Amino acid sequence: MHETAYNSSSRPSIVVLCGSTRYWEELAEANVYETAAGRIVLAPGCNLKKAHPLWADPARADRLKLMLDALHRQKIDLADEVLIVNPGGYIGDSTRKEIEYARSLGKPIRYTHPADGAAPAR
């Protein structure tokens, strides 16, 4: 049973999901659990690994990737905590940079799977 983060007298905690979009379904599942626990969830909104007209052009995709990376750092800024979605312990370069950024801000970090000695979130 997950402990709820919801308290009617205060704002629910905000959690940002970080992880490779190759695990899009796992990110969506983490969103479900975090939302059901009463948390406000911030998550990646675009999966550049899946074909879409917005990023079909490689030059446009490169520009979009830079913008999305900056946007995700802003989501980390807004969040009370960070949840790393890392099936099998996988953490890629982008996620590693997000972890470093979150640590530089002093954000608490949880992981869905053990990574670098971290305990899983559930």
Position 11 scores a pLDDT of 95
pTM, full prediction: 0.86
Beta carbons of 101 and 12 less than 8 angstroms apart:
no
Q: Which two tokens stand for residue 104?
A: 């530089």
Give residue 1's pLDDT band: very low, low, confident or very high (50, 70, 90): very low
Kindly state the average pLDDT of the residues 33-61.
96
Q: Indicate if the pLDDT at residue 63 is higher than 70.
A: yes
- HSE of 115 in the Cβ direction (CA atoms, 13 Å)? 20
User: Residue 71: pLDDT band by 50, 70, 90 thresholds?
Assistant: very high
Percent pLDDT > 90 in the chain is 86
Task: Summarize the confidence of residues 16-38 as an average pLDDT.
Answer: 97
Alpha-carbon distance 18 to 5, whole Å?
Answer: 19
pLDDT at 68 exceeding the cut of 60: yes
**DSSP-assigned states of every residue in 57-122:** SHHHHHHHHHHHHHHHHHHHHH-SEEEE--GGG---HHHHHHHHHHHHTT--EEESS--TTPPB--
Average of pLDDT values for 102-115?
A: 95
- Predicted pLDDT at 115: 77
Per-residue CA distances from 100 to 53, 81, 94 (Å): 32, 13, 10
Three-class secondary structure of residue 27 per DSSP: helix
Residue with tokens 């972890």: 99
